[in-house]
Amino acid sequence: MNRRQFISRSTALLAVSSIVGCQSGSPMNKGRIGIQLYSIKDELPKDFEGSLKKLSDLGYSSVEAYGFTEDNFFGRTMKELSDLVKDMGMTVSGSHIWTGATIVNTPQKEWDFWKSCAARMKSGDAQWAVLSSFPEANTLDDLKRVAEYFNRAGKICNDGGVKFAFHNHYDEFVEIDGEVILDFVIKNTDPELVFFQLDMGHVVNGGGDCLHYLREFPTRIPLWHASDFDLATRKYVEVGRGSVPYKALFDLPNTGGLQQLTVEQETDGDIFASCKEDFDYLKQFKWTKV
């Protein structure tokens, strides 16, 4: 084969591969900014696929589902959701899980539930099963039981090939018997099995210090929820408009151990305009780029 024949054949092969690529779905979105689908909870029932496509068009590279207590998200299984967003150039990072989390005499069916959760996440190539509600705790003994519960759920998820994490709200920053709830649970759970998704806006709303957590526990908080809260107005706002010190957070050594960045927007008004503003603000940081 001479040089001209080689170039001609290579050009033909490239053309064929391009056609196949177009047929097999959209190219994956660049960047590292994901979004929690609870942000568009009011839009999904109106136009499920169209709403997801809008997020892809904004540039989001992954989505995080919510409420997967069964393998059903607006009529789609985790596998179906994953296939759908993959065709739009995105992946599913994981899901928030809602459960009562009984910490006293926990029944076997609850451990079976976490086993099924892990299998569900795995079916969609998702990495994270995120508990998004804190069990009721009033005493230090309760917090110890919560830590034990998290450890066991984490072990079950790990055995199932995914990772377990807990997502805070604003009420995990109060003290019980002199212990800040979130700090206690971080320090008393297995670092190999239990991780945390720090919701920045909720931290500020609860009186916590985002920088403190990322400096003190950099290996325990691989997940960030990019939200924002304005202390002056006591309202949730678009990312970059509130009191969360994002520039300082992204300047931390190794970006504070961040692995997965996920927007969660909880404002009124044009939600897609807010999601665009969030994305456009976050894309300035070096970490968010491929």
Residue 282 has pLDDT above 60, yes or no: yes
The span from the CA of 171 to the CA of 237, in Å, is 19
Overall pTM surpassing 0.85 (yes/no): yes
Q: Does residue 9 lie in a domain region? A: no
Residues sharing a CB contact under 8 Å with residue 19, sequence separation 6 or more, in sequence order: none
Q: Does residue 2 lie in a domain region? A: no
Q: Does residue 5 lie in a domain region? A: no
CATH code of 117's domain? 3.20.20.150
For 229-249, how does the pLDDT look when each residue is reduced to its tens digit (9 = 90+)? Answer: 999 999 999 999 999 999 999
| 8 Å CB contact between 29 and 61 | yes
Domain count for the chain, please give it: 1
Q: Does residue 3 lie in a domain region? A: no
For 70-124, how does the pLDDT look when each residue is reduced to its tens digit (9 = 90+)? Answer: 899 999 999 999 999 999 999 999 999 988 889 999 999 999 999 999 999 999 9
Residue 258 has pLDDT above 60, yes or no: yes
Torsion, Cα of 200, 111, 259, 186 (10° steps):
50
Name the more confident of 7 and 273: 273
Name the more confident of 264 and 68: 264
Its domain, for residue 59, covers 29-288
For 184-234, how does the pLDDT look when each residue is reduced to its tens digit (9 = 90+)? Answer: 999 999 999 999 999 999 999 999 999 999 999 999 999 999 999 999 999
DSSP β-ladder status, 235-237 and 228-230: antiparallel
Position 22 confidence tier, pLDDT thresholds 50, 70, 90: very low
pLDDT of residue 17: 36
Residue 27 is given by DSSP the state: P
Q: Does residue 261 lie in a domain region? A: yes
pLDDT of residue 290: 74
Q: Which amino acid is at 253?
A: P
For 160-176, how does the pLDDT look when each residue is reduced to its tens digit (9 = 90+)? Answer: 999 999 999 999 999 99
**What are the distances in angstroms from CA 281 to CA 62, 152, 241, 254, 276?**
17, 38, 10, 20, 9
Q: Does residue 165 lie in a domain region? A: yes
Position 25 confidence tier, pLDDT thresholds 50, 70, 90: low
Q: Does residue 273 lie in a domain region? A: yes
| 8 Å CB contact between 265 and 256 | no
For 38-77, how does the pLDDT look when each residue is reduced to its tens digit (9 = 90+)? Answer: 999 999 999 999 999 999 999 999 999 999 888 999 999 9
Q: Does residue 4 lie in a domain region? A: no
Which H helix or E strand runs over 14? Answer: helix 3-23
For 116-151, how does the pLDDT look when each residue is reduced to its tens digit (9 = 90+)? Answer: 999 999 999 999 999 999 999 999 999 999 999 999
